[in-house]
Amino acid sequence: MTRQLLEPIQTLLQVLTNPDPNIPNQFSSAFTTSPKPVAYEHGLPQLAPFVGRSFTGQEGISTYFNLLSTHLEIKNMAFESEENWVIDESCMSVALRGTATFIWKKTRQAWSETFAYRIKLAEDVSDDPEKKGCLKVSEYQVWADTGAAYLASLGKLDKLREV
């Protein structure tokens, strides 16, 4: 079962670390159709347009990743090795950490951070024969440095470092 659990997560992480700008909705393909998937980045919704709200369904997943790519440039994204992942087969979920440098596109302010994911999987029960029965991501939760994102969006991240 563990190998089955890890394959869809590895697929998602591959897309996150090496996105192909020529493939529309490439993130959506890693998520279930039914049950409706959810993406949620923890934090106050006032801090960034992709934080503190649930993005539900295939349309919501597309909206979430489009908001990220609209506002952020991401460099050097990497994830810890599988041996450090917390795998809960009974809940069909995996918790893991990653690192990256984020750049707020409008202000060009950047910060490096470690973030955490909790990814829950489910069997896709959609009518699409290519997806039906496959394990896909059904819940994608992120804990990241929303304060740095907020300050970078205002162009104040560098000023904070001078203090």
Mean pLDDT for all residues in the chain: 91
CATH annotation of 2-162 = 3.10.450.50
- What confidence score (pLDDT) does residue 20 get? 77
- How many residues are present in the chain? 163
pTM to 2 decimal places: 0.91
For residues 84 and 79, give the distance between their C-alpha atoms in angstroms, rounded to a whole number: 10
pLDDT in tens, 93-136: 999 999 999 999 999 999 999 999 999 999 998 777 666 678 99
Out of 17-21, 35-39, 65-69, 89-93, pick the least confident: 17-21
For residues 30 and 100, give the distance between their C-alpha atoms in angstroms, rounded to a whole number: 21
DSSP 65-84: HHHHHHHEEEEEEEE--GGG
